[in-house]
Structure 1
Amino acid sequence: MLSIFLTIPLTMHSQSLFEYQWKNRLIVIFTETSNSREFQKQMQILNQNQNQAGLNDRKIKVIHVIPDKHQIVFPEKSGWQNSNLYQKKESKIDFEVILIGLDGGVKLRETNPVEIEKLFDLIDSMPMRKAEMRRNDN
């Protein structure tokens, strides 16, 4: 997997995303507007009760990015913060979901809402997640 330093050069060095490296996995959702239909669908998937425990267990924070602003939307909702994250995204598509691993590497990019099973399966296949699960079993 490519490092986030190469694929989204701004992310771990600018704004506040650097603080999450080695602490949280990130789902970063880019949209043109705060009330995007695709964003609402993605949040509906993520906010289902049975999914929230899995998101917490996998140390996931969800960040919504629109032009000039971003906010955390899971596990707690923050206020909007000024941000240049949107301008640094690679895709010209209006909607994009990026999964960033604990190491800061981009693990997944999708231009449609992503089902929770796909996210969880991908995360659970990662070496650091496997180690976390082994530790939790003891």
Structure 2
Amino acid sequence: MQSWLDMLREATAKGRRFARVRVVTLPLTDYSRFGVWCAQFTNGAGEDIRYLTRDKAEAAGLPDHDYWLFDSRKLVRMHFDDNDAFLGGEIIEDAAEIVKHNYWRDAAWHHAVRRDDFAAEQHLGRL
């Protein structure tokens, strides 16, 4: 993890931005609690991870699939099996799909809360 933190510090010092919204189900699974714990370090290194509960994501009309946007123009949709095992990522090049996912990213950001606020709401503290 230290090499990731070092990379984040170096990249953000050069002006790069790393941000994500994690959509989580309540109550949190052990894995999600671990993610909240890790986020205190990555946020400290320059990444901005925020949290959105699944019910709020659904109410906002956000999709139920996971994806990554790189520089707002490269889209990778993640695929999982019925047991949530990762099957791989699919590169999407369709401009309309990329625009739609940018909109969803921005909407998720609008509704999400900062890691420390989310941890406090969930009574997690600094873990």
TM-score calculated relative to the size of structure 2? 0.34
Greater RCO (Cα-Cα under 8 Å, separation 6 or more): 1
Which one has the bigger helix percentage? 2
TM-score calculated relative to the size of structure 1? 0.32
